[in-house]
Structure 1
Amino acid sequence: MKHLANPDLHTILPADEWQGTPFGKRGFQNIEHPFWPSFNDLLKWKLGKNPQKDEKKSDKLLPQVIASPSFLTTNENMVVWLGHATFFIRINGVSIITDPIFGKLPLIGRLSPFPFDPNLLKGIDYILLSHDHRDHCDKASLKLVSKLNPKAKVLTGLVLETLLKEWVVKNVEPAGWHQQYKTEGVEVFYLPTRHWARREFNDTNLSLWGAFVIRGGGKTIYFGGDSGYGSHFKQVGQLFPDIDVSILGCGAYSPRWFMEPVHMSPEDAVTAFNETRAKTMLPMHYGTFDLSDEPYGEPVRILNRLKTDGIINGELQLPAIGQAVVF
């Protein structure tokens, strides 16, 4: 087992606690739950029956879309959901976009449109790319936002810079888990998640996946990327005890026997939120692409029930796509 890091970046944990990101014979691996995708399991899911098929077909609850980019001209600290895992974040005057994807996925339509012309996304300082999956790492979208913002730096995981530079996205800084990027105006850290990576059939887990903490001007945001539930959420709350907003996935979780290792259910996401000890929970990864078996509106219905039951230890925000959440 190797332990990898970017030698040019600071590691936030002491050497006796953290040797680096684990890299074994088959590539990078999760700390607690090593994962390798099974083609047989994929076939079993795709060829099997969805017990919620009829409910999903009749479920028309999708996020509202506010088609106004007026937030781009303000200076407030804010988080704006742009669909799936794409967020515009402004913190301490620094503008950030996460996992940009403006259009459709290959063979998969888009349920909720991008809220405005992405050519308006100028003035971006940093592009945060959690991992290489196509619903988070989109070639056309990354090339566009990089062209519109030639000085913007892409912050991502180890090895993914190789692919991005092939796409003519040159200003890339990769990090291992528990490393801090070289940034101005904000501090940005790359942290573990429970997930995996693959673009092609022969590159499984050869690039790193992760989450981000963004801190500046007395405010802190956790962007959880893609992740199954694990003890890393509790660690985030311990390392960063004053998180204002935790952005957590709560979609693409059904069937659980297939999705549980890599995607959280709404119940998992609430547990993770409580363990990060953040003030506000902002869900993502639902209502944009049809990636799984659950009905489109089920994540929101479950989250609202958990809120009513008093299980969420903080504020739950369920904004429209394109709606600014000021913090």
Structure 2
Amino acid sequence: MNLSRVFLILLILCALIPFLRSKKMLVTLVIVASFGSVFYFFMYEKFDWKVEGFRSNPNLKTVRADWKGNPVNPQGRFLNDPVTPLPAFGELWRWQTETNPQKQEKKTDTFRLNVTKNSDFLHSNEDCVVWLGHATFFIRLNGVTFLTDPVLDSPSFLMKRFSELPVAISDLKNLDYIIVSHDHRDHCDEQSLKALAPQNPNAVYLTGLGVETVFGDWVKNTKIQSAGWFQAYQTDTTKIEVIYLPARHWGRRYLNDTNKNLWGSYLIRANGKSVYFGSDSGYGAHYQELGQWLGGVDVALLGVGAYKPEWFMSASHMGPKDAVKSAHELKAKRFIPMHYGTFDLSDEPLGDPYRALQELQKKPENQGFIQLAGVGEVVRL
């Protein structure tokens, strides 16, 4: 950030001070301006949004013939396709200073997810999907077991967990695969991965390019495969097939590693059955393209929370309406919503996505399509 911009920010601060009505407003202004300056410098000012080349894992098979690889900028940082720059400082400032129209509703909302304490599914052989909260699912297909984006407690003191786990962490053992879709802390949690590692010594970790550098030391496991979009992981394809696919999102673990590590979604397929795990994604043309390319999926697991204000969040998260639309475009037979009710990550009340989905269920095209699974509920495939 050059000195002229620093001077401009200081001038704006000085100009606003006389209009502040309280000490609290002054403190808020200083915090937002300071964070905004850092945000602008590290995430926007220094980031080059020009496509310079393409990256993939040369050791993995690319399953789409016309795919060049993931677009990267001149510094080798990943970009969405099409390129979607992160919000500018002015947009961040607007979000942090405008009034949340659901502020009072959020304060009084007592919604909690229904949790069924149940570990029987872990000892079964049937094909199933079980939501464990947020973006964590237990999936069994053709006898092969998966755990997606394991965040099994509060990732930090800033992120309180509002739903219990339906099983004890110690019960999550002898898994075949552990999926880590991207590096954000509500999807890639150090304590959860460290807890799972010793009780899953033979698990293979499936992630995106670069993300292995974040958690590799935590799990002390050399069985990590990192893929680019439209790349198939090395599995016993007579039993299971797993492909890393596009998502419209971004990556960052710290202040200066924006988009250093890739983000994505997953197709898990075996014996004519398929599960699409969408992880984090804003709405985009990739859903319709994937629906046409894949020819449909049995179940789509898509996020519906952390979506307000929509003008700010829609680039990286979907709300209920867009998620339902995306699931239809994927040609899914069933849609199970996720990424809501477990953590408070944005402006909407915890129960807002659930209530919106209940209304959407009433539409003829969504009856029997939207499955509002509870945490711990076994959904058979």
Q: Name the TM-score, length of structure 1 as normaliser.
A: 0.96
Decide which of 71, 75, 78 is 1:22's aligned counterpart: 71
Shift of 1:161: 1.2
In the other structure, the counterpart of 1:310 is 364
Shift of 1:37: 4.7
Q: Which has the higher helix share?
A: 2
SS of equivalent to 1:45:
helix
Which letter does structure 2 place at the counterpart of 1:122? K
Note the aligned Cα RMSD (angstroms): 1.4
Shift of 1:75: 0.6
| Stretches of structure 1 lacking an aligned partner (at least 5 in a row) | none
Take 1:35 and 1:77, find their aligned partners in 2: how far apart are those partners?
Answer: 40
Check the 8 A contact 1:35/1:195 in 2, yes or no: no
Q: Does 1:282 align with 2:336?
A: yes
Aligned positions of 1:198-277 closer than 5 A: 198-277=252-331
SS of equivalent to 2:364:
coil
Take 1:225 and 1:112, find their aligned partners in 2: how far apart are those partners?
Answer: 19
SS of equivalent to 1:188:
strand
Shift of 1:40: 5.0
Query: Cα deviation per residue 1:53-108 (whole Å; 9 max; x = unaligned)?
Result: 11112221221111111110111100000000000000000000000001103211
Take 2:367 and 2:89, find their aligned partners in 1: how far apart are those partners?
Answer: 38
Take 1:312 and 1:259, find their aligned partners in 2: how far apart are those partners?
Answer: 25
Aligned positions of 1:286-297 closer than 5 A: 286-297=340-351
Q: Does 1:52 align with 2:106?
A: no
Check the 8 A contact 1:228/1:263 in 2, yes or no: yes
In the other structure, the counterpart of 1:64 is 114
Check the 8 A contact 1:65/1:113 in 2, yes or no: yes
Which letter does structure 2 place at the counterpart of 1:12? V
Take 2:166 and 2:89, find their aligned partners in 1: how far apart are those partners?
Answer: 35
Take 2:354 and 2:133, find their aligned partners in 1: how far apart are those partners?
Answer: 14
Which letter does structure 2 place at the counterpart of 1:86? T
Cα distance change of structure 1 residues 21 and 56 upon mapping to structure 2, 3 Å threshold: same
Cα distance change of structure 1 residues 213 and 39 upon mapping to structure 2, 3 Å threshold: same
Query: Cα deviation per residue 1:252-271 (whole Å; 9 max; x = unaligned)?
Result: 00011210100001000011
Aligned positions of 1:145-164 closer than 5 A: 145-164=196-215
Shift of 1:8: 0.8
Check the 8 A contact 2:296/2:330 in 1, yes or no: no
| Stretches of structure 2 lacking an aligned partner (at least 5 in a row) | 1-51
In the other structure, the counterpart of 2:223 is 171
Aligned residues: percent identity?
48
In the other structure, the counterpart of 2:195 is 144
SS of equivalent to 1:244:
strand
Shift of 1:241: 1.4
Take 1:313 and 1:227, find their aligned partners in 2: how far apart are those partners?
Answer: 24
Take 1:24 and 1:13, find their aligned partners in 2: how far apart are those partners?
Answer: 22
Q: Which has the higher contact order (CA 8 A, sep 6+)?
A: 1
Take 2:159 and 2:305, find their aligned partners in 1: how far apart are those partners?
Answer: 16
Runs of 4+ in 1 over 6 A off after TM superposition: none
Decide which of 135, 145, 150 is 2:186's aligned counterpart: 135
Take 2:136 and 2:225, find their aligned partners in 1: how far apart are those partners?
Answer: 19
In the other structure, the counterpart of 1:78 is 128
Cα distance change of structure 1 residues 44 and 10 upon mapping to structure 2, 3 Å threshold: same
209-218 or 36-45: bigger deviation: 36-45
Cα distance change of structure 1 residues 44 and 242 upon mapping to structure 2, 3 Å threshold: closer
Which letter does structure 2 place at the counterpart of 1:172? I
In the other structure, the counterpart of 1:322 is 376
Q: Name the TM-score, length of structure 2 as normaliser.
A: 0.82
Which letter does structure 2 place at the counterpart of 1:19? K
Q: Does 1:12 align with 2:63?
A: yes
Aligned residue pair count? 325
In the other structure, the counterpart of 2:34 is none
Which letter does structure 2 place at the counterpart of 1:99? D
Take 2:215 and 2:251, find their aligned partners in 1: how far apart are those partners?
Answer: 15
In the other structure, the counterpart of 1:97 is 147
Which letter does structure 2 place at the counterpart of 1:292? S
Check the 8 A contact 1:279/1:315 in 2, yes or no: yes
Take 1:197 and 1:242, find their aligned partners in 2: how far apart are those partners?
Answer: 28
Shift of 1:13: 0.9
Which letter does structure 2 place at the counterpart of 1:3? F
Shift of 1:309: 1.9
Decide which of 345, 352, 365 is 1:298's aligned counterpart: 352
Shift of 1:209: 0.1
Which letter does structure 2 place at the counterpart of 1:46? Q
